[in-house]
Amino acid sequence: MSRRQFGNMVALMMAAMIGGCALLQPPMSAATPRPPGSAIAAYTLSGRISVRQGEERHNSNIVWEHDAAHDEILLSTLLGQGIAELTRDAVGARLATADRREFSAPDWTALSSRVFGFALPLYRMPRWVVADAPADAKRDAAGRPQQFSEDGWTVGYLDYESAAASALPQLIEIRRDDIVIRLKIDEWQMVR
């Protein structure tokens, strides 16, 4: 796999992890206080993801549906053309690309190892995106996480949707070695 294909696949996998599934209950209204990240079990988010490895950079739109039993991440070009779909459920984890290549494995870790040759933190990202951070995370004045390290990755929260203590992240940066992943979240939908 060429470096460019590798970068595209990483962007797709990361976007898929941040993609979304259709929720059966109506979303919480903006006036409803959000629960802490550790209490959020199901959500859909949409936005943009950027993956940089060395000099290579890949950007895509992302829609991520998450609940305890299922993840569905859809990645598309900035113009809306589908790039890849990542899914996870009780059967395992799968990646389907626009050029009809398909990969599967028992879980996210095995899938990323198979596709990229090393494990991406896909199993932790559903918690990281809702700012469910370890107790030793650096925090801002409102008590929200600003930065922490886990499994060799550094996670930074660069912006939140508001100044409220319950606000969800709007811009997240995840780094390890020469890999930098930036997720810009434009919209959140929560299940009550």
pTM: 0.81
Domains held by the chain: number: 1
Note down the domain range covering 20: 3-190
pLDDT of 44 reads: 96
Q: What is the CATH number of the domain that holds 151?
A: 2.50.20.10
Average pLDDT over residues 106-114: 90
- The residue that leads in pLDDT, 65 or 120, is 65
Strands ordered across the beta sheet of 179-190: 102-105, 92-97, 82-89, 70-76, 56-67, 43-53, 179-190, 169-176, 153-160, 145-150, 138-139
- Please determine, for residue 18, whether its predicted confidence score (pLDDT) is greater than 50: no
> Reduced to 3 states, what is the DSSP secondary structure of residue 70?
strand
Give the DSSP letter string of 91-112. TEEEEEETTS-EEEESSHHHHH
Residue 110 to residues 9, 35, 106, 143: CA-CA distances in angstroms?
Answer: 15, 32, 6, 34
For residue range 94-106, what is the model confidence (pLDDT) as tens digits?
Answer: 999 999 999 999 9
pLDDT of 13 reads: 56
Share of the chain above pLDDT 90, in %: 62
Please, what is the end-to-end C-alpha distance for the chain in angstroms? 43
For residue range 160-186, what is the model confidence (pLDDT) as tens digits?
Answer: 999 999 999 999 999 999 989 999 999
pLDDT of 16 reads: 46
Confidence class of residue 20 from pLDDT cuts 50, 70 and 90? very low
Average pLDDT over residues 83-89: 94
Give me the count of residues in the chain.
192
- List, in sequence order, every residue forming a beta bridge with 85; answer none if it has no partner: 74, 96
Structure tokens at 96: 């389907």
Residue with tokens 């801002």: 140
Structure tokens at 125: 């990202």
Share of the chain above pLDDT 70, in %: 82
